Amino acid sequence: MIRYRYEKKYLVRNGDLEGLRRRFMPFLEPDGFTQMKGGIPEYTVRSIYFDSKDSKSFYEKIEGLSERKKMRVRGYGTVTPETKVVLEIKRKLTDRIHKNRVFIPYQELEEIVLHSRLNRLASQSKTVDDNLSRFLFNIKRYNLAPKNLIVYDREAYQGRFNPGVRVTFDKRIRQKKTDKLSSLFSNKGLRQVWKESFILEVKYFEPEMPSWAKSIVGEFRLKPEALSKYTNSVEHSLFF
């Protein structure tokens, strides 16, 4: 059974960051996978999004389809010989999200994605095999190719009393067009999107947002928006 997670996104002025963080802190603790930077649990997220020649994913978002999916490869921080990246299918049904993910060695990224050469990765487990097969099937079926690199600094927390709740501040969002998987850890040519703002995301499994989170976003007069880093990055790149 697929378990969807609910997701709400808000575009917030940079000047509200400290106040918003202060209000959230009694209900949150740093995400267990983050490292502290200056007392803040923050790490860099890098994603290359795939799309078809006719930009199917882009136009599905523009047209407001309630059910759609995105294909991306995601890396974190900086690259080392041991770095692993994530092949991910992000499925969206209205405001609910489900992801199929598989970790692979960065050094094998092009071999696996572009040439379907699985090397030693295959048959680690049924979940790995299934998720990898789904990803490669979609790449081939829809003739998808790398389109955009999106990089941002994520400040990440989980619920203090409910670890299933996740709150993130995605800051300094920047992007560039690319057709190369080797660009994943590149900083050259990145341009910032939403220079005056960051994206607040609140994610949870229950149908209703936790009352404390709902109260805080109401206090700051924030309204949920259908924000897409990929779609806005494509639109931004049209002018540069």
Segment 170-198, tens digit of pLDDT = 999 999 999 999 999 999 999 999 999 99
CATH assignment of 5-237, given 3.20.100.30, 3.40.50.720, 3.20.20.70, 3.40.50.300? 3.20.100.30
pTM listed for this prediction: 0.92
CA distance 139 to 118: 15
Q: Delimit the domains of the chain by residue range.
A: 5-237
Nearest CA among 199, 213, 200 for reference residue 165: 213
Q: What is the pLDDT of residues 88-106, one digit of tens each?
A: 999 888 778 989 999 999 9
Q: Crossing angle, helix 211-219 and helix 17-24, to 10 degrees?
A: 150
Whole-number Å distance between alpha carbons of 95 and 93: 6
- Say if residue 206's pLDDT is above 70: yes
Q: Given phi > 0 = left and psi -120 to 50 = alpha, else beta, which region is 33?
A: alpha
User: Is residue 108 very low, low, confident or very high in pLDDT (cuts 50, 70, 90)?
Assistant: very high
Q: Contacts for 57-63 with beta carbons within 8 Å, 24 or more apart? A: 57/230, 58/230, 58/231, 58/234, 61/226, 61/228, 61/230, 61/231, 62/231
Minimal CA–CA distance to 21: which of 40, 44, 43, 7?
40
pLDDT in tens, 40-94: 999 999 999 999 999 888 888 888 777 889 999 999 999 998 999 999 999 888 7
| Side-chain-facing half-sphere of 34: CA atoms under 13 Å | 22
pLDDT exceeds 70 at position 144 = yes
In this prediction, residue 125 carries a pLDDT of 65
The pLDDT of residue 197 is 97
